[in-house]
Amino acid sequence: METYTWSYLKKYPKQTKRLLGIDDNQLEQLIALGKLLHQKKKEENEKTKIRINQPGAGSPSLLAEEEQIVLTLVYLRHNISFQLLGLLFQVSESTAHNIFTYWQTLFEGELPPSLLEQIKKFQEEKEIVLEMLTDYELIVDSAEQAIERPSDYQEQKKYYCGATPAIRNRLGNAHQETG
């Protein structure tokens, strides 16, 4: 049985970019690479395995390889909990986690690392990268979170509406000038 997410992507391939961050052609290439890597991994495991049961005697996978790769990409793109990911793909939370971990480690050596991973490996190039990043603006999409209300009034003012001290000072000065 196909999951809704995979059925949706096959029916509406132009939505792949919005949902996964890559277009449908890139997804097809990634799936082909993933299947190849998965087959190699299975062959390597088979060489060292001591068998009690016949090959294929275990329980079948709940998701096809394509769906497992899409699950991994959904997690990477949206950073949702494994509980929600499991609900989306009709598997348990632990199965969603295991699937993600398997495909992440499988793709780790084959796909180009992110800029941050490259920095970790080459600390001497950190300054160059930091200089390159100064040309870019960082935009953070966030939401306010409730905090325990401080008992001191002056301390409470610091946290009112999430305004920073600099903004509060400007607002306070403007209010004093007009008042």
Secondary structure (3-state) at 128: helix
- Residue of 120 and 163 predicted with greater confidence: 120
Average per-residue pLDDT in the chain?
80
Rounded to an integer, what distance in angstroms lies between the CA atom of residue 173 and that of residue 89?
54
- pLDDT tens figures, 46-103: 888 777 777 666 677 889 999 999 999 999 889 899 999 999 999 999 999 999 999 9
At residue 179, the pLDDT reads 46
